[in-house]
Structure 1
């Protein structure tokens, strides 16, 4: 199966976005994919804001993008756009870092007023980076994600069903995307 890079663009260690992605990672793993999690907030701030494309952490992130067949990108929505830490990382990647990749954009937010942020803010950037196929994204309201005291995640039933369908469509698209041969 495919290798999926699962990128959390949340700046918070306790974010619903990050927990949601790790939850969806389990579904993709159960479908036979190799999932590599990447939390952008764990990258050194000085490298992200420097910007230092030669910093080992940034070079490693670029390598993870290069190795992936598909990329799951999740971000909280702030002021009708994706997070600044995600923007900083995307700016440091090579211009066509998503060439040949299938991409699933996901977002979380407090209001349905931000539901179009995926299509108007994030999708154009992903497209400009050469994504072969950007599947239908999904916006999840914060109120539909509950994190238990033990860290467990529970989704509202309709949200769980919709996200399951979106992730399954991504999984199918990964199977149809040709894997580009690595340069040598």
Structure 2
């Protein structure tokens, strides 16, 4: 059995990243897996901004990370990088807290021009937190996520295929290490 935590680094409640989050959550809900979500935007802003390491909300989120074998990190791309909200939370994780975790980074951006953001901006920070097993991430252009009603989204076929390849590599890693 694998415990999977999905960390969503979007500062917005109405975001196409929710379509990816929902898809990933459904995908990892396989027999033997348990999945939880950390919506960083839902953590107390004051605790994030003031780096309140003793905050009960921060400690609870960090406990989810600690208890997980697998992390899926989701972020929209702003200014050719991951969000400040995500960085603020990552700064509150204990040193080496990502050691021995399988990590799948997934980003949603406005164009493929920011595709390398995962490798050159996000992965170094994850590595600084002790991550040694970072899987090849997925990058999805936001135009490949159709907005429906009630904050629901649908991924176009090409985006689903790319995402499923990354999720399948995650599944392969989970099943070979169990």
CA contact (8 A) 2:101 2:133 kept: yes
Q: Partner residue of 2:58? A: 58
Q: Partner residue of 1:86? A: 86
- Is residue 129 from structure 1 mapped to residue 129 from structure 2 by the alignment? yes
Gaps of 5+ in 1: 179-184
Q: Which region of structure 1 is more displaced relative to structure 2, 40-49 or 161-170?
A: 161-170
Q: Which region of structure 1 is more displaced relative to structure 2, 21-30 or 78-87?
A: 21-30
Q: Distance in 2 between matches of 1:74 and 1:119?
A: 14
Q: Partner residue of 1:36? A: 36
Give RMSD over aligned pairs: 1.3
Q: Which region of structure 1 is more displaced relative to structure 2, 126-135 or 102-111?
A: 126-135
Q: Distance in 1 between matches of 2:31 and 2:145?
A: 23
CA contact (8 A) 1:2 1:175 kept: no
SS at the partner of 2:48? helix
- Within a 5 Å distance, the mapping from 1:134-173 to structure 2 comes to 134-173=134-173
Q: Partner residue of 2:98? A: 98
Distance 1:177 1:49, change over 3 A: farther
Q: Partner residue of 2:70? A: 70
Q: Distance in 2 between matches of 1:177 and 1:76?
A: 30
Q: Distance in 1 between matches of 2:80 and 2:28?
A: 28
Q: Which region of structure 1 is more displaced relative to structure 2, 28-37 or 48-57?
A: 28-37
Q: CA deviation at 1:73?
A: 0.3
Q: CA deviation at 1:149?
A: 1.0
Q: CA deviation at 1:152?
A: 3.3
Q: Which region of structure 1 is more displaced relative to structure 2, 158-167 or 39-48?
A: 158-167
Q: How many residues align?
A: 178
Q: Which region of structure 1 is more displaced relative to structure 2, 14-23 or 133-142?
A: 14-23
Q: Partner residue of 1:21? A: 21
CA contact (8 A) 1:23 1:153 kept: no
Gaps of 5+ in 2: none
